[in-house]
């Protein structure tokens, strides 16, 4: 499947604004993949499909979370998190993508995960820094992305946690675990 075929599949599932975001994420993912040595094809496909389930009905997503044995703790946190793991499932079932690296990058693009592989980091960061994103702190993360992938991902997670705390929202434990894991890794490597 090439980029154009993938975009034709995903477009009916997105609003115009989210489609533009998807193109920005895809382009950014390819650039990050080139810079840091990830598979550019996988980055492109994961970028196209990362928000595939973004606008699915909440009841459908709840049902998939429960039936597929996904962590039920998702249901006690913001429904904004649901589209990532549900999307990975639906991309596999409806689109037929079976590449585990692509599916994992889609699954983890909102929460991260401890021990994130390179492609996961690329998609997570591309979603955060794509050119259409404008919010406090994004420029600093964009600059870090040009220097050090791990530090950029860490700063994005840190910004997200601080934002959620200021909003008095629950923070998904996997996000905190990702932050701790990445910080420990960076300290250990002396980056």
pLDDT digits (tens, 9 = 90+) for 150-174: 999 999 999 999 999 999 999 999 9
Query: Which residues in the chain come in under a pLDDT of 50?
Result: none
CA–CA separation, 39 vs 62, rounded Å?
Answer: 32
Q: Residue 64 has which token pair?
A: 């998939």
pLDDT number for residue 190: 80
Q: What is the distance between the terminal CA atoms of the chain, rounded to a whole angstrom?
A: 37
At residue 184, the pLDDT reads 96
Q: In sequence order, which residues have a C-beta less than 8 Å from that of residue 106 and are 6 or more positions away?
A: 46, 49, 50, 52, 84, 87, 88, 91, 123
- pLDDT in the model for residue 115: 97
Q: Which domains does the chain have, with CATH numbers?
A: 3-134 (1.10.3210.10)
- Alpha-carbon distance 133 to 142, whole Å? 11
Measured distance CA(104)–CA(112) in Å, rounded: 10
Q: Is the pTM value of this prediction over 0.85? A: yes
Phi-psi region of 12 (alpha: psi -120 to 50; beta: other; left: phi over 0): alpha
- C-alpha 105/C-alpha 118 separation (Å) is 9
Q: What is the pLDDT of residue 180?
A: 98
CA-closest candidate to residue 97, choices 148, 172, 46: 46
């Amino acid at each position: 499947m090439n980029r154009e075929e993938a975009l034709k599949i995903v477009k009916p599932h997105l609003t115009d604004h989210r489609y533009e975001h998807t193109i920005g994420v895809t382009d950014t993912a390819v650039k990050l993949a080139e810079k840091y040595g990830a598979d550019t094809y996988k980055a492109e496909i994961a970028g196209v499909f990362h928000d595939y389930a973004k606008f699915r009905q909440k009841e459908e997503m709840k049902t998939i979370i429960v039936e597929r044995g996904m962590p039920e703790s998702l249901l006690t946190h913001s429904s904004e998190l649901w589209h990532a793991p549900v999307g990975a499932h639906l991309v596999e079932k409806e689109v037929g993508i079976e590449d585990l690296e692509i599916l994992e990058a889609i699954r983890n693009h909102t929460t991260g995960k401890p021990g994130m592989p390179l492609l996961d980091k690329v998609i997570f960061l591309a979603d955060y820094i794509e050119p259409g994103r404008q919010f406090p702190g994004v420029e600093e993360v964009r600059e870090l992305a040009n220097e050090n992938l791990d530090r950029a991902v860490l700063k994005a997670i840190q910004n997200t946690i601080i934002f959620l705390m200021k909003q008095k929202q629950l923070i998904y434990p996997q996000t905190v675990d990702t932050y701790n894991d990445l910080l420990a890794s960076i300290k250990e490597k002396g980056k």
